[in-house]
Structure 1
Amino acid sequence: MSRQIISPLPGIFYRKPGPGKDPYINEGDTVSAGQTIGLVEIMKQFSEVRAEFDGVLEKFEVDDFGVVNPGDVIALTS
């Protein structure tokens, strides 16, 4: 059964900590509870999006630079 990682607020989702940097995590990677999987930016304020459970990141539901709203599913883990 998949578990959802939800956006805490509205903004733009980023999979990388900055231009030219590697993504925080890729699909198929193992993820730990509390691990950052991306950032949501709103008005130049960046908030980390963290996994709530240990597992494997199955799929991102939002593209890099995609618009998210509070409660949107960003990724699925198993």
Structure 2
Amino acid sequence: MPEHLIPAPLPGTFYRRPAPDAAPYVAEGSPVEADTVIACIEVMKQFNEMTAGHGGQLMAFLVEDGEAVEIGQPVARVLT
């Protein structure tokens, strides 16, 4: 099965959940569609949703919740 790395579309702070007290958008091992929201990136108090970009199974997140990311940095792996 092909593996795809999902890159951060912009620099900022990576969050796996929409709010501190909310459940994560998606858990590792879960099936995803190309348009499934998997995380958000905060830039100057604006939260930008990130989608998987590929359908398949989200295998792993490559960054921690609340970690700073750079544009193009791989943040998750999807098996298609």
- State the one-letter code of the partner of 1:68: V
Q: State the alpha-carbon separation in 1 of the partners of residues 3 and 64 from structure 2.
A: 19
Aligned-CA RMSD value:
0.6
Secondary structure of 1:62 counterpart: coil
TM score, norm. by length of structure 1: 0.96
Q: State the alpha-carbon separation in 1 of the partners of residues 49 and 20 from structure 2.
A: 16
Percent of residue pairs bearing the same amino acid type: 41
Dislocated runs of 4+, deviation >2 Å: none
Q: State the alpha-carbon separation in 2 of the partners of residues 35 and 5 from structure 1.
A: 12
Indicate the residue corresponding to 2:44 in structure 1.
Answer: 43
Aligned pair count reads 78
Indicate the residue corresponding to 1:31 in structure 2.
Answer: 32
Indicate the residue corresponding to 2:76 in structure 1.
Answer: 75
Gaps of 5+ in 2: none
